[in-house]
Chains A and B, each alone.
Chain A
Amino acid sequence: MFGLSSKDTRFLLIVVFLTLATPILLQPFPEGSSLAQFNAGYPDLMQKFAIFGIFAIGFNILFGLTGYLSFGHAAFLGVGSYTVVWMYKLLGYNVLPGLVLAVIVSALFALLIGFISLRRSGIYFSILTLAFAQMSYNLAYSVLTPITNGETGLQVYSNDPQILMGENSPTSPHLFGIVMRESTQFEVGGWLFTLNNGYYFCAVIAILAFYLSLRIFRSPFGMMLRAIKTNQTRMNYTGLNSRPYTLAAFVISGMYAGLAGGLLAAMDPLAGAERMQWTASGEVVLMTILGGAGTLMGPVLGAGFIKYFENIFSKINDGVLHAWFAFLPDGLEDLVVALIHPFVGKGWHLTLGILFMLVVIFLPGGLVEGGQRIARLFRSKKTKTAGPGGRNRDHQPKPAPHVAE
């Protein structure tokens, strides 16, 4: 189905189901219970899951598949956001023209940056992309203020032309009248579920983005990208020019980033230069590596994981900790809380950094590889009982390093 093998179709259907059921699945604790703060099923966070999932899927096509580590992808995110807000200002609050234009503009931008940066590879490529992104960020803050509105950030004012705005048009982002920020809530028992228009809009786009990346992974083009990652020199020796392929991968991932940036502005009609800063580029690198570079599902998992951390883990304060460990004797309770305190709440970055280091050191394939290893552990026990036909590691092809040097 959909031009996929039956295994991939099943995979895709599972992803579609999980994405559409997110508002229910992420709300496992009843309202009012002490664990309700771990519910992630509120619109703002779910939208971020979907949007940064798209961003990471796109980044993975460049880094995971082709092996080029870009440290400047946030520039495209910013370009996408600015484009969408400009379309609000000129045309009106319908998100569609803005999003289409955001993808086109970021593609052009990526074509320009990619054409120059891809002349080099390895760490030089990383530094070149970093330099371009920092340049865009600095310019957006200073000289380009007429376009970007500098530090204030770009937003819609009441005296903007908005030529497509009718009498009854909604005054916040919408898609042909479906207002993004509106949602329906329903209650089952103690559970409260929120179905948000904006989230479902992002989710549908994210599913399409995921489907496209699945097709790229399975296509001859994807095979070519993998060949570039494995050994570019050898590819050149066989007489293939790898430049068009890398450039195509760069532009595609730039378009994904532009789309994600556009969606950020579609959920909240604002765009600021800080979206282009290199720490934002670093964040998408973290997401992709944490989840598992080069795998289909990994980057999405990583994006969800980091956004969940950022929004939920950072809310755990000392009061919550005391409530959890109240069953311990007083002295011990204070000690445990004091020990955990640096790692939660405002210190969530520390936990994230440690976790990231552990993943890079011990699990180069990310969370997905971790899951696979656990799965293999169970399976290998079965094969061992079956007979001596188990896998012998020495006789397996060695896994390629997950990034070309």
Chain B
Amino acid sequence: MDAILLQILNGLDKGSAYALIALGLTLIFGTLGVVNFAHGALFMIGAFCAVTMQRILGLSFSQVDPTKTDFLGNPLKVQVPYVESWFGPEVGGAIIDWSVPIAIVMAIPVMIALGFAMERGLIKHFYKRPHADQILVTFGLAIVLQEIVKYFFGANPIQTGAPDMFAGSFDFGVLMGFDPNVIIYPYWRMVYFLFALVIIGGVFAFLQFTTFGMVVRAGMADRETVGLLGIDIDRRFTIMFGLAAAVAGLAGVMYTPILSPNYHMGMDFLVLSFVVVVVGGMGSLPGAVLAGFLLGILQSFASMNEIKSIIPGIDQVIIYLIAIVILLTRPRGLMGRKGVMED
């Protein structure tokens, strides 16, 4: 029982990341009808927004510290971050410590601008081209974005820590009457899960309860009719592309303390997210979220020793295996709509 609970919890954070990326992919696919292979790169760029923020906040100048001396007895030079000299060591230290959450403020405008630029500059010209062309050109774009990031940040993973406040783990087991230290769960993963829920809830609320969202939903259902009603649907879809990019970026920003970002993390997540989208059903937003969490949890179940001893290697292939079974038995995915991307 406790082992099962632990695996569900372990699957949640990976599932959250899958769900957020798949949500963005589905938004783009549902509105613009474009298969975006560069979406993983947007996730990666979001993660590097956090790295950049950490570097900006960590900018420092050297200062002679009169109270300390080095081993020769000379006064010691210390690096003092600008933030600490402006706000004092306590507040400044806290700001540096919280660089990952603060990066969200930077990531939102950056990602939206990037999304706009991508849609207007490139993807707009590919609406009428076959899906394979869209896949290929966004695949090329992903390589370019990845290489640009590699050029500036190098090829090695960069450690980006969570605020100290969330450093420890939470003992879930005690809360539910199990022994202590049976079910422990790092605080930051809990934060990530809640954050993902907020974002997903926000996107759904935006689409469900605002006039803008209503028009977008109408456009997803029948783009031509909405256009005939005199609504500039293209502009709204461009905004949705920016939103989808921001969702992917935020997912990346908050994921940095869980996985140190490197330049090819986007590609690794992209392949899995595509599988998630297909399992959930092309063009279905609830399907993408559901399938994201489902596959994340199933993946962590499959890595349990008990299951691995029955079917060796299952943890490596479970996601792909499920995708194959779903595609062959329920071609539309779990919650796919009729008429979307049918053969």
- CB-CB under 8 A for A347 and B278, given A143-B313, A354-B144, A404-B130: no
Instruction: Give Cα A354–Cα B275 distance, bound, in whole angstroms.
Output: 27
Contact status A143-B312, CB under 8 Å? yes
Q: Is A21 at the interface (CB under 8 A from chain B)?
A: no
Instruction: Please give, as numbers and ranges, the residues of chain A lying within 8 Å of B317 by CB-CB distance.
Output: 135, 138-139
- Specify which chain A residues have a CB less than 8 angstroms from the CB of B331 in the assembled complex: 120, 124
Q: How large is the interface on B (under 10, 10 to 19, 20 to 34, 35 or more residues)?
A: 35 or more
A131 at the interface (CB under 8 A from B): yes
Question: Bound complex: CA of A114 vs CA of B341, how far in Å?
Answer: 21
- Contact string, A350-382, partner B, CB cutoff 8 A, digits 1/0? 101110110011001000000000000000000
B218 interfacial by beta-carbon distance below 8 Å: no
Q: Give the contacts of B109-156 with A (CB-CB under 8 A).
A: 122, 125, 129-133, 135-137, 139-141, 143-144, 146-148, 151
Please give me the residue from chain A that is nearest to B274 by CB atom.
A127
What residues of chain B have their CB less than 8 Å away from a CB belonging to chain A? 35, 122, 125, 129-133, 135-137, 139-141, 143-144, 146-148, 151, 267, 271, 274-275, 278, 312-313, 316-317, 320-321, 323-324, 327-328, 331, 341, 343
Q: Is the CB of A128 within 8 A of B327?
A: yes
Q: A116-B328, A120-B328, A122-B341 are in contact. List 5 more A-B contacts (CB 8 A).
A: A120-B327, A122-B131, A347-B151, A353-B147, A403-B130
Q: Give chain B nearest CB distance to A403 CB in angstroms.
A: 4
Contact call A352/B143, Cβ cutoff below 8 A: yes
By a CB distance below 8 angstroms, the chain A residues around B271 are: 130, 134, 278
Contacts of B141 in A (CB 8 A): 353, 357
- Determine whether A401 belongs to the interface, using a CB cutoff of 8 Å to chain B: yes
A residues 102-160 near B (Cβ < 8 Å) are 116, 119-124, 126-128, 130-132, 134-135, 138-139, 141-144
Name the distance in Å between A280's Cβ and chain B's nearest Cβ. Answer: 13
Question: Are the CB atoms of A131 and B275 closer together than 8 Å?
Answer: yes
A69 at the interface (CB under 8 A from B): yes
Residues in chain B near residue A278, CB distance under 8 A: 271
Nearest CB of A to B135, in Å: 7
Q: CB distance B323 to A361 under 8 Å?
A: no
Q: Is the CB of A121 within 8 A of B275?
A: no
* Residues of chain A within 8 A of B278, CB atoms compared: 124, 127
Q: What 10 A-B pairs are tightest by C-beta distance, nearest first?
A: A143-B313, A353-B143, A138-B316, A403-B132, A350-B147, A357-B140, A131-B320, A353-B144, A356-B140, A135-B317
Q: Give the docked Cα–Cα distance between A402 and B271 (Å).
A: 24
- Minimum Cβ distance to chain A for residue B138 (Å): 9
Taking residues whose C-beta sits less than 8 angstroms from the other chain, chain A's interface range is 35 or more
Q: Decide if A30 is an interface residue (CB 8 Å cutoff).
A: no
> Chain A: which residue is nearest B317 at the CB level?
A135
Is the CB of A255 closer than 8 A to any CB of chain B? no
Nearest chain B CB to A339's CB is how many angstroms away?
13
A285 within 8 A of B: yes
Say yes or no: is A349 at the interface (Cβ < 8 Å to chain B).
Answer: yes
Q: List 18 A-B contacts (CB under 8 A).
A: A122-B343, A123-B132, A126-B132, A127-B274, A128-B327, A132-B320, A138-B316, A139-B317, A143-B312, A279-B267, A353-B144, A353-B147, A356-B136, A356-B143, A357-B144, A361-B137, A403-B133, A405-B130
Let me know if A289 is at the binding interface, CB within 8 A. yes
Closest B residue, CB atoms, query A403: B132
Q: Is the CB of B140 within 8 A of A360?
A: yes
Residues of B within 8 A of A28 (CB): none
Residues in A whose Cβ lies below 8 Å from that of B146: 353
A370 and B310 CA atoms in complex are apart in Å by 56
| A342 interface contact, C-beta 8 A | yes
B321 nearest CB across to chain A (Å): 7
Known: A124-B327, A135-B317, A138-B316. A349 touches B35 (CB 8 A): no
A78 → B minimal CB distance (Å): 15
A170 at interface, CB cutoff 8 A: no
Q: Which residues of B contact A122 (CB under 8 A)?
A: 131, 341, 343
* CA gap between A138 and B312 in the complex, in Å: 12
Interfacial chain A residues near B323, Cβ < 8 Å: 127-128, 131
Residues of B within 8 A of A342 (CB): 151
- CA of A132 to CA of B132, assembled, Å: 19
| Chain A residues closer than 8 Å to B324, beta-carbon distance | 116, 128, 131-132
A350/B320 contact (C-beta < 8 A), A119-B328, A278-B271 known: no
**Do A285 and B136 contact each other (CB < 8 Å), given the known contacts A132-B324, A143-B312, A405-B130?**
yes
Say how far A324's CB is from chain B's closest CB, in angstroms: 21
* CB <8 Å contact, A364 and B151: no
Q: Enumerate chain A residues within 8 angstroms of B125, measured Cβ to Cβ.
A: 361
Are B132 and A69 in contact (CB-based, < 8 A)?
yes
Q: By the criterion CB–CB under 8 Å, are B341 and A123 in contact?
A: yes
CA–CA, A134 to B319, complex, Å? 10
- Across the two chains, which residue of chain B brings its CB closest to A126? B135
The answer, yes or no, to whether A97 is at the interface (CB within 8 Å) is no
In the complex, how many angstroms separate the beta carbon of B18 from the nearest chain A beta carbon?
15
Q: Kindly provide the distance from the CB of B310 to the nearest chain A CB, expressed in whole angstroms.
A: 13
Are B136 and A360 in contact, with the CB atoms below 8 A? yes
**Closest chain A residue to B331 by CB distance?**
A120
- Distance, CA A274 to CA B211, complexed state (A): 50
| Chain A hits for B129, CB < 8 A | 401
Q: How far is the CB of A348 from chain B (nearest CB, A)?
A: 9
| Cα distance, A168 to B293, chains bound together (Å) | 61
Contact status of A143 and B140, CB under 8 A, knowing A120-B327, A120-B343 = no
Kindly identify which residue among A124, A127, A289 contacts B136, using a CB–CB cutoff of 8 Å. Answer: A289
Q: For the complex, give the distance between the alpha carbons of A143 and B308 in Å.
A: 10
Bound state CA distance, A124 and B336, in angstroms?
A: 13
Closest to B315 in A: A142
Question: Do A349 and B143 have beta carbons less than 8 Å apart?
Answer: yes
**Distance, CA A278 to CA B320, complexed state (A):** 13
The residues of A that contact B275 with a CB separation of less than 8 Å are 127, 131
The answer on a CB contact under 8 Å between A134 and B130 is: no
Interface residues of A in 204-259 (CB under 8 A from B): none
CA separation between A282 and B136, bound complex, in Å?
Answer: 10
Assess the B131–A350 pair: CB atoms within 8 A: no
Min Cβ gap A83→B in Å is 21
| B147 and A282 contact, CB distance less than 8 A | no
Cα–Cα distance between A178 and B327 once the two chains are bound (Å) = 49
Q: How far is the CB of B231 from chain A (nearest CB, A)?
A: 27
CA distance A347 to B144 in the complex (A): 10
Cα distance, A123 to B129, chains bound together (Å):
14
| B43: min CB distance to chain A, Å | 17
State the CA gap A127–B270 with chains docked (Å): 12
What are the residues of chain B within 8 A of A360 when measuring CB–CB? Answer: 133, 136-137, 140
B333 to A: closest C-beta gap in Å:
10
Closest to B279 in A: A127
Query: Chain B's nearest CB lies how many Å from the CB of A366?
Result: 11
Most interface-central of A67, A134, A350, A360 (chain B CB within 10 A) = A360
